[in-house]
Amino acid sequence: MRKISKKIFILLIFLLFTGICFAMDPAEGFWLSIDEKTGKPIAGWEIFIYEGKLYGRIVSLTGLEQNMRADRCKNSYKGFPTPGKVSEMPVIGTTWIFGLVPVEGRPGQWKSGNVVDPNDGSMYECKITLHPADGKKFKIETLEMRGITIGPFGRSQFWQRATRIEATSLR
Q: Where are the domains of the chain?
A: 25-168
Predicted structure pTM score:
0.86
Question: What is residue 66's predicted lDDT score, i.e. its pLDDT?
Answer: 87
Q: What is the pLDDT of residues 60-112, one digit of tens each?
A: 999 988 899 999 999 999 999 999 999 999 999 999 999 999 999 999 999 99
Is residue 154 within 8 Å of residue 22, measured between CB atoms? no
CA 11/CA 29 separation, integer angstroms: 29
Question: How do 142-150 and 153-162 pair as beta strands?
Answer: antiparallel
What integer is the mean pLDDT of 113-118?
98
| Alpha-carbon distance values, 163 to 30, 159, 167, 169 (Å) | 6, 13, 6, 10
Q: Which CATH number fits domain 25-168: 1.10.940.10, 3.40.50.150, 3.40.50.410, 2.40.128.520?
A: 2.40.128.520
Is residue 130 within 8 Å of residue 27, measured between CB atoms? yes
**Percent with pLDDT over 70 in the chain:** 87
Q: What is the pLDDT of residues 18-51, one digit of tens each?
A: 344 456 999 999 999 999 999 999 999 999 999 9
Would you give the distance in Å from CA 40 to the centre of its chain? 19
